[in-house]
Structure 1
Amino acid sequence: MQAHQRIRYYSGPAGGWGSVKSLFRNALRSRVRLATADALLRQNKPKGFACVSCAWAKPAEPHPAEFCENGAKATFWELTSRRATPEFFSGHTAAELRSWDDHHLEITGRLTHPLRFDHASDRYVPVDWDAAFSEIGEELGRIRAEDPKQVVFYASGRASLETSYMYQLLARLYGNNNLPDSSNMCHESTSVALPESIGQPVGTVRLDDFERTDAIFFFGQNPGSNSPRMLHQLQEASRRGCSIVTFNPLKERGLERFTNPQSPSEMLTGAETRISERYYQVKAGGDIAAMIGMCKSLFEREAASGGILDHAFLSQHTQGFDAFRSFVEEQSWAVLEKEAGLSRSEMEEAAAIYARSNAVMGIYGMGLTQHKLGVTTIQTLVNFLLLRGNIGKPGGGICPVRGHSNVQGQRTVGIAEKPSLVPLDKLAELYGFDPPREEGLTTVDACRAILNGDVRGFIGLGGNFLRAVPETGPMEEAWPRMRLTVQVATKLNRSHLFNGEVAYLLPCLGRLERDEQANGPQVVTVEDSTSCFHASVGRYRPVSDQLRSEPAIVAGIAKAALPENPKVPWEEWVADYGKIRDAIEATYPKVFKDFNRRMWTPGGMEKPLAARERKWETETGKANFKLPQALSASFDTGNDPHVLRLITLRSNDQFNTTIYGYRDRFRGIEGTRDVLLLNRQDMARLKIEDGAQVSLQTEASDNVPRTLSGLRAVEYDIPPGCCGAYYPECNVLIPLWQHAEKSKVPAAKSVPVRVVPAGIGLQAAE
């Protein structure tokens, strides 16, 4: 189903005409109707809608076009005129559809009717909403009578705050805290690391800090593809003299240079802005060593001349500094160079930029979180920032860049498997029940329980769970052994083609569509990466009169599955989402004070951030220096030269598991995703020619075979000892047990693998 394959170097910048051409290509591919052509002008604007793609901040004074290339693709994807109707499903069995790739499954279009899976015909068939809710309720009731902990309530990161609040209440009223979400697969390392270090689970940076910062240190994040609107802030910072220092294994174009598509002069002249002043291609999993190297250089400078560290801040606001300094000073430069994949002079050069900058920001993404020591890596970055007081300083701070448009907000209103993160006593008071207190299942725990046959029911609020998790093959094999599977979605994806004994696919309204309920048009809210809440207004006609809103679907399941509770006004909430926001405020009064009024605040309603005010809600009452457990964050020991560290990548034509097309423009790869990016030295050493067919085999101690075949070897600028290939295809290679310590985030950014040339058996490769 893929197009003609072509691999060639792309010389253009991020943005520019390449971005404009991509926008038009995707508008044509999605068959967007003329009546929705004005959608992009309302995207991320006051009184408009929040983008359904990434969670980057929305400015109080937006640009004329406050959308990016990938945000436009997401909008076109939702407003497509293509439809996946009951007639479509009558013509295709699940077995046939499983042979389709991710792109061609989703491009079939928007789901239009509620569907029940018929195992006899291997097809989805239309069903009445009331009948669907009734059977789902009966099945959930039977499982609950036996053991309510046998059901998983999964949530992707797109559901609104209102839906998320109702969903977490549904799970807890049902009797468990099994609320894994997409954060478990991406930024859970952040949620574990930051509370221990600074006392809050989110970053400290607001959008206006980009106007005050002197230096930005970037780690493991690719804004050009994953959050392109951030390039506006990076461009403006670079132009006024801010030093941007990047640590990333691959040269990502968005961190190199940018042409602003909204600037007529730049577009006409081809002018480009340099983004990164320095770009260091750190080894995958080597960020801890790189940070320790910079810290070591700072301590050496301090010993030689003084004036480098902020001693007043360290004394008043931190704990554990002396132990950290001792740890750093004990490390040898030779070992740091080996583990980081950088030279001493490069780490000293970066440290010199940090030392001369008054306000410094640390930005990172999944290149830090998705490692064995993801938590330790983030805490080491915090240590680095604390040395010069760069937490709670205007223009300074730590900034994790979230993916899904409301993944952070879901956690804020209770989508969490950890009871300690949720005000259970307040929920008990408001709704008259005894909430479960046992810790629920993370995503990794849920996968393990499904494999073991310990989960009988799965409710999926959006997302593409089976495609996003590790151990793809075993998970797909185990999935049909569950009794009940329910998927709430806007489009078809691979997860919908594996079904329990009783299975439903329930179509919901998209965020861009008018949501008319009993009390009139409704508004939803989301939280961005900088902890600001925004109202979002849908205005387009729903693709089918059979669609229901996510709150209505959650309420329908809850009313069918749970005993009646007069304190939980499901129907009132669905009729008026303002009443859900009142309930959110009652549950979280400090965070959501005057929620219904303040949700319209230009630039967003700010969530209180204690660490931003240098109030440390930690056990010590201070910001804590945490000692690294090791210098390498990877499961790979580095002792076997034939084992490479695989970095899973997103394409420029992709958002998470959604594949918009087969044109990874910045990497010059077109018409295919079956590629393996390799360093020239490794190719020579392993005797692999450019363009050769190869397979990947996971190096794991459990001796379970995990392979991915049919890849084309491509010579690429990637550090020696590392290789790169696309997510989610590479999930088959990730053992479920290879996850971050403490946070259980799958370690997808340094998977130990062997490269096997075509024609060589796996045993021979060993």
Structure 2
Amino acid sequence: MEDNKKDVKNSSPKEPAAENPIRLTGHLKITKVEKKAAGIPAVLASFADLIEEKALLRGTMALFKMNQFGGFDCSSCAWPDPDDDRSPIAEYCENGAKALAEEATTKKVTPEFFRKNAVYDLAELDDYHIGKLGRLTDPVYLPEGGAHYQPISWDDAFKKIAQHLHALASPDEAAFYTSGRTSNEASFVYQLFAKAYGTLNMPDCSNMCHETSGSGLRPTIGIGKGTVTLEDMHDAEVVIIVGQNPGTNAPRMLSALSKCKGNGGKIIAVNPLPEAGLMGFKDPQAVKGIIGDGVKLADLYLPVKINGDMALLKALEMLLLDFEKQSPGKVLDQSFIKEKTTGYDDFIKQFGQYNLEDLSKECGVATALLREAAQMIAYKKRIIICWGMGITQQPNGVDMVREMLNIVLLKGSIGIRGGGLCPVRGHSNVQGNRTMLIDEKPTDEQLDRLEKYYGFKMPRKHGYDVVRAIKAIHEEKVKVLFCMGGNLLSAAPDTTYTANALRKLKLLVCVSTKLNRGHLVHGKEALILPTYSRADFDIVKGELQIVSTENSMGVVQSSKGVLKAVSDNLINETQIVCRMAMATLGENHIVNWQRYHDSYDAVRDAIEQCIPGFNNYNERVRQKGGFYLPNAARDEQRFAPKYDYRAPFTITEIPDNTLADDEYMMATTRTHDQFNTTIYGLDDRYRGVHNGRRVIFMNEKDIERAGFRAGDKVDLFNYDDGIERVAPLFVIVPYPIPEKNTVTYFPETNVLVSVNNVVKESNMPASKYVRIKIRKHDEAVYQKTSHL
């Protein structure tokens, strides 16, 4: 394997850019919007990335093991694998193949690369090109005032971490961030180390994607997870998809929806944008997906306004109540309501204050479409509601999760075959992280079990989530940040504020497989610790190991790498945590860290004792397909303990989304060539955008009304908290989107999302609800901000 020879100029220490460099390529191309997802273009795109990464042979070999029994779990989304037969051709999607290509790459980022390339100059590259540099091969260290990362031994790296942690006045001056890629085993020892060190400061990626789902579901149904299996998706009579674009965010979900359609099911899509993945699907595993027109997925599309979902949901409920009056006992499940719920009478009283026309105006969906949607679900029982971050990143997202629950409670469509709730998680083990107690506010019961097993006092003071951690770092209350994977800078809101906070850290530590912008905006000192990817062989004491993950539907399964790592100087995440623990806490600590360092089985034995549902863990995780974790809401129709194991109806409010004449509502989204903060390419072919990312999708009437034209260059402004935030140099793209609504890509517009613009209760960034103003591009604005 050859070193990646990228070489940029060697410059003196300067403050590196916090954001993608603000440039337009000059070759932006806009084509027609696609009506179908997947198909042959997806197959070709998958293999194109393997060729680009110089990994066609080894990557193709690995693809045949991805998501297969006895193979490795895709590091991309958390969509479940089939319990029964799996396609031998392609049990993965395009983005999964692209993720694998970047793991299988033969390009390397070595100590020599860092010697040639200063941090400041690397930050002048955009995120796409930073990500394409290759795999990290050795631990590196950036000293205070240094311009270059330099090699450091593993022992010295752990001594450096321990030195900083020992110097803190309190354990709460440290925080430990987690990415969803981290395995169950590494997550368990990681949270155990943080508690042994003495803090619950464990912000994680859940705090930015589905914390809202857990906050809405845990108090009402007793579990912060979904209540369906993959087979339920196939058996549903109606699937309602709200605020989610499966064609890009969870492409294998399209296969499940296609099976649902084949079984006679109907699909309702609710989204401001008519996405290709919601409209049609060409299955590359089937002949008709190759030579035919594919499957039309959505039977009904409801073009809701941004944050108009609440009004839409209440309109459906009101119509269902009207249908029930016309046909008593045939629409609502009165027995379920009486036996399994509470608060029904108070819930239905609220509808006296609403009328359908007003709700239609608030949500932006015509009354005829609302009636059609209500008719589709009125006389059906097996109903599943799925949602993504189009719901969870709204300021009232917790309320909307509970409003969707209200609908399935009315229908008795939870805890039955083919019915229930399905929050579609983004990252492959983000749900497993939380199950493994990666949580800034664990319950007393969880802490009691750990305390009983390990015999030391657990910290009880709730820690910082992501937003609170960023603020605490800014206020210098947190001085050491350890990041287990991810790219916190690019994922977080308020980019300039976040970057200024990170620069105040005394030490930033990042465990990573590849270089990203989060390594280039750093504390006074910084460490990058390279680790295995999910696809790599993980060999401990001469034996190839398995790790385990949990998917969106609560299945825990094994994952075993198949590729030789790009470097002999990598160690796995579990060993990184254990060596950090031994360096910090001492080798004679009450926890036998060396045992966990040497054996994943020993870690799983401890998990079995500390976390319910993992009995016979080592045996069951090796079974074909793994095992389901218990889910009382799904399996027994047992819900919130507070309500005698019934589920409460929740009364919510419709938000006021009034905008000033010169204001627009903006939601951030990802391109099809992107997974979270990882940029695979510069195209978004389903939306017809090629070779560029700095675009803003606008309604044609809004463009004309504001005196703009398609292709105009504009600057975007946000004024939350009385602060002017600017994202300059965007190109207007006309798109079928509700008036006064706009959509842009993240992380480019994260700079506009105030750190104080959060979801009530869950405290997540409300990145799908940002008030902006749009002005013609001003070169002076560009010059003022281009250094950021």
TM-score range, shorter chain: over 0.9
Residues in 1 aligned to 2:621 and 2:585: alpha-carbon distance in whole angstroms: 31
State the alpha-carbon separation in 1 of the partners of residues 593 and 222 from structure 2.
35
Amino acid at match of 1:446: A
1:245-324 → structure 2 map (5 Å cutoff):
245-267=268-290, 269-306=291-328, 307-324=330-347
Paired residue secondary structure (1:423): helix
**Residue aligning to 1:516:** 539
Q: Within 2, Cα distance between the matches of 1:563 and 1:502?
A: 23
In structure 2, distance between residues paired with 1:15 and 1:421: 46
Per the alignment, do residues 421 and 32 of structure 1 end up closer, same or farther by CA in structure 2, a change over 3 Å counting? Answer: farther
Matched, 1:136 2:161: yes
CA contact (8 A) 1:162 1:580 kept: yes
Please give the alpha-carbon distance, in whole angstroms, between the structure 2 residues aligned to 1:594 and 1:752: 51
Q: How far is 1:563 from its partner?
A: 3.9
What amino acid is the match of 1:79?
A: A
1:265 shift after superposition: 4.0
Aligned with residue 647 of structure 1, among 667, 674, 689: 667
Structure 2 counterpart SS, 1:42: coil
Are the counterparts in 1 of residues 47 and 56 from structure 2 also a CA contact under 8 Å? Answer: no
Aligned residue in 1 for 2:764: 745
Match of 1:87, SS state, is helix
The share of aligned pairs that are identical, in percent, is 37
Determine whether 1:80 maps to 2:105.
yes
Aligned length: 754
Structure 1 residues 639 and 76: alpha-carbon distance in aligned structure 2, compared to 1, 3 A threshold: closer
Query: Does the Cα contact within 8 Å between 1:512 and 1:540 map onto a contact in 2?
Result: yes
- Please name the residue that 1:754 is paired with: 773
Indicate conservation of the 8 Å contact 1:177/1:439, yes or no. Answer: yes
1:83-482 correspondence runs (5 A) = 83-143=108-168, 146-267=169-290, 269-306=291-328, 307-420=330-443, 423-482=446-505
8 Å Cα contact 2:174/2:479 also seen in 1: yes
CA distance in 1, matches of 2:606, 2:696: 50
Q: State whether residues 59 and 100 of structure 2, in contact with CA within 8 Å, keep that contact through their aligned partners in structure 1.
A: no
Letter in 2 for 1:110: R
- 1:650 is matched by which residue type in structure 2? R
What code does the residue aligned with 1:109 have? G
Paired residue secondary structure (2:609)? helix
Q: CA deviation at 1:12?
A: 5.5
C-alpha distance in 2, partners of 1:724/1:10? Answer: 15
**C-alpha distance in structure 2 between counterparts of 1:603 and 1:516, whole Å:** 22
Q: Residue 643 of structure 2 aligns to a residue in which SS? A: coil
Cα 1:325–1:556 shift into 2, 3 Å: same
Name the residue aligned to 1:693.
713
Partner of 1:387: helix, strand, or coil? Answer: helix
Q: Give, in angstroms, the shift of residue 452 of structure 1.
A: 1.3
- Asked if 1 retains the 8 angstrom alpha-carbon contact of 2:246 and 2:254, the reply is yes
Kindly provide the amino acid, as one letter, of the partner of residue 159 in structure 2: S
Task: Give the letter aligned to residue 205 of structure 2.
Answer: S
In the TM superposition, residue 637 of structure 1 has moved relative to its aligned partner by: 3.2
Whether the 8 Å contact between 1:53 and 1:655 is mirrored in structure 2 is: yes
What is the match of residue 12 of structure 2? none
Q: How far apart, in 2, do the equivalents of 1:3 and 1:103 lie? A: 17
Is 1:497 equivalent to 2:520 in the alignment?
yes
2:650 aligned residue: 627
Letter in 2 for 1:202: K
Q: 1:343 to 1:36 in 2, by over 3 A?
A: closer
Distance (Å, rounded) in 1 between the aligned partners of 2:289 and 2:485: 39
**CA separation in 1, counterparts of 2:347 and 2:146?**
63
Identify which of 718, 729, 744 aligns with 2:748: 729
Q: Which moved more, 1:417-426 or 1:61-70?
A: 417-426
On the 8 A contact 1:259/1:273 being kept in 2, the answer is yes
Secondary structure of residue in 2 paired with 1:328: helix
- Separation in 2 of the partners of 1:644 and 1:250? 16
Match of 1:718 in 2: 737
> What per-residue deviation string (whole Å, max 9, x for no partner) do you get for residues 562-619 of structure 1?
144554121111211011000000101x310111111133333100001012011330
Query: Map of 1:672-683 to 2, 5 A cutoff?
Result: 672-683=692-703
Provide the rounded CA distance (Å) in 2 between the counterparts of 1:237 and 1:487.
42
Judge conservation of contact 2:249–2:675 (CA < 8 Å) in 1: yes
Q: Of residues 609, 624, 627 in structure 2, which corresponds to 1:602?
A: 624
Contact 1:324 1:625 in 2 (8 A): no
- Contact residue 416 and residue 422 of structure 1 kept, 8 A: no
> How many angstroms apart in 2 are the aligned matches of 1:236 and 1:3?
43
Worse-superposed segment, 354-363 or 561-570:
561-570
SS at match of 1:35: helix
Q: Equivalents in 2 of 1:422, 1:127: separation in Å? A: 41
SS of the residue 2:112 aligns to: helix
SS in 1 for 2:744: strand
Q: What are the Cα deviations for residues 241-268 of structure 1, in whole angstroms up to 9, with x where unaligned?
A: 201001011011011011111113431x
CA gap 1:650/1:628 in 2 versus in 1, 3 angstroms: farther
Instruction: Report the secondary structure of 2:556's partner residue.
Output: strand
1:270 shift after superposition: 2.6
Q: 2:592 matched to 1:569?
A: yes
1:658 corresponds in structure 2 to 678
Q: 1:62 aligns with which of 44, 65, 86?
A: 86
Structure 1 residues 330, 421: closer, same or farther in 2, change over 3 A? farther
Q: Provide the residue aligned with 1:537 in structure 2.
A: 560
Alpha-carbon displacement from aligned partner over 1:108-149 (angstroms, at most 9, x marks no partner): 000001000134441100011111111111111111xx1110
Q: CA deviation at 1:422?
A: 6.2
Q: Structure 1 residue 688: deviation in Å?
A: 1.2
Shift of 1:33: 4.6
CA contact (8 A) 1:644 1:721 kept: yes
Write the distance in 2 (CA, Å) between the matches of 1:207 and 1:89.
45
TM normalised by structure 1 equals 0.96
Structure 1 position 35, deviation (Å): 3.1
Contact residue 494 and residue 754 of structure 2 kept, 8 A: yes
CA distance in 1, matches of 2:201, 2:277: 38
> What amino acid maps onto 1:298 in structure 2?
L
TM superposition shift of 1:627: 3.4
For 1:422 and 1:279, locate their aligned partners in 2 and report how far apart those are by CA, in whole Å: 44
Which segments of 5 or more consecutive residues in structure 1 lack a partner in the other structure? Answer: none
Per-residue CA deviations over 1:30-61 (Å, capped at 9, x if unaligned) read 22152342111111111000000000001121
TM-score, with length taken from structure 2: 0.94
Query: Residues 514 and 422 from structure 1, CA distance in 2 versus in 1: closer, same or farther, beyond 3 angstroms?
Result: farther
**Alignment-mate amino acid for residue 81 of structure 1:** T
- Give the partner amino acid of 1:531: G
Q: Distance in 2 between matches of 1:507 and 1:272?
A: 42
| Distance 1:101-1:436 versus aligned 2 partners, 3 A rule | same
Q: Report the 3-state secondary structure (helix = DSSP H, G, I; strand = E; otherwise coil) of the residue aligned with 1:89.
A: helix
Say if 2:474 and 2:504, in contact at 8 Å, map to a contact too: no
Is 1:667 the counterpart of 2:691? The answer is: no
Tell whether the 8 Å contact from 2:59 to 2:101 is kept in structure 1 after alignment. Answer: no
